[in-house]
Amino acid sequence: TEKDAWGSEISTRFAIERCVSKRFDVPLVLICVEGGPGTVKTVLEFVAGGCPVLLLRGTGGAADVCYEYVEAMLSRSTIREADPGAFLRDQFGSATAKRFARCHVELQALVASEEARLAEGGHRLLCSFSAGNDADTPAGNSFRPSVSPLSDESTRHRAALDGNFETALLSSVLRGQMRRKVKLQLAVAWNATRLAATLLRDRDGRLLVEPRDAAHDPDNETMISETDVCEALLHAATVVADQALDEGLISLLISTLVETRSAAASLAAV
């Protein structure tokens, strides 16, 4: 019907934006503020397409529904048995449950998508941000100013970053499908030391940098080259020089290069 066709231009625009993003390494992220049932479908389409989504929780509507449902379901062991309708009634009341009654399949698909990414060792694409207080949020919830990927028991990191919207936005962008080199450049340009650190080491602390004499694939999304780190260091020392530079950022890049050289020398000596 005509009403069901509403929002079809969003899918077309996303396809074009994703093409441009991939071709020119332009960051792409969806920011979800409130929204109705159609927005839930849009969030799912973006996540399924590999685009990070930043949910502004506390704004109501789809942003809160997606956040609360995915958050709750991923913390349970019986995800497949969860009833979206019952959850929405308990969490938001009958009016909201009725409004989003046709979104049950999309909500369950969001959970499945995030769960699949975790199973493959990837990053979550749904992030959240809240700068509100208890009075601004649904009854029974307590939101603190924070930004974090939705809960992930395997990493046990929740609200790991400061409650700064720019940081929230960058954190979301870095979860998109861009080359790791570009992600590091963005983190340095934003003077974000902690985010840069997550690009240089994995969750177990292992270095993700290949020596400059190694055969590095520039399209490798899991590793970065020593040359890329050198370029990031040069960028931090020049372009970012007029900002209040985080001294830890320079130290991080230098120590990473030293460790990479040391590891390469050890391998050569074997």
Single out the residue of 67, 84, 202 nearest to residue 138, CA to CA: 67
For the chain, the domains span 3-173, 180-269
Does 254 or 222 have the greater pLDDT score?
254
pLDDT of 98 higher than 90: yes
pTM: 0.68
Does 189 or 213 have the greater pLDDT score?
189
pLDDT of 54 higher than 50: yes
Residues 150-172: tens digit of each pLDDT: 444 333 333 333 447 777 888 88
